[in-house]
Amino acid sequence: MKRWDRLLDSYMEMYNARGLSPATVAHTASRLEKWGRWMKRRRPRVRIEDIDADLITRYITSSTTFRAKSTVSGTLSTMRGFGEFWCAKDCGSRTRCAG
């Protein structure tokens, strides 16, 4: 998942350049790093191209038990922003990233 790490670094560089508070940037980085660690522990290994709705649902289910709705929504929002960045950067016009 070295590609994940490079993509995350690139995203966080762009995210930080938006002028958001350091606390917001750190919190977003923490959420995405947690997601990355979770995926790295999966067997068989998850390729970044294989991230789909089922995998995201399993992550959200496993990481948000007994969490407030706003926490879950914030996590989803962070993941959505990262996904949009990834699609814009790597997917081009592939239908997998559309919609």
* pLDDT 10s digits, 30-73: 999 999 999 999 999 999 889 999 999 999 999 888 888 999 89
DSSP for 53-92, please give it.
HHHHHHHHHHH-TT--HHHHHHHHHHHHHHHHHHIIIIIT
For the record, the structure tokens of 32 come out as 């995405």
Q: Among 1.10.150, 1.10.287, 1.10.1900, 1.10.3470, what is the CATH number of 2-97?
A: 1.10.150
pTM of the model: 0.84
Structure confidence at residue 93 as a pLDDT band (50, 70, 90): very low
Q: How far apart are CA 10 and CA 4, in angstroms?
A: 10
Q: Choose among 46, 42, 82, 48: nearest CA to 62.
A: 42
- Determine the residue type at 2: K
- Model pLDDT, residue 65: 82
Helix H or strand E encompassing 31: helix 22-40
Q: How many helices (H) and strands (E) does the chain have?
A: 4, 0
Task: Answer whether residue 76 shows pLDDT above 60.
Answer: yes
**pLDDT (tens digit per residue) in 19-42:** 999 999 999 999 999 999 999 999
Task: Answer whether residue 18 shows pLDDT above 60.
Answer: yes
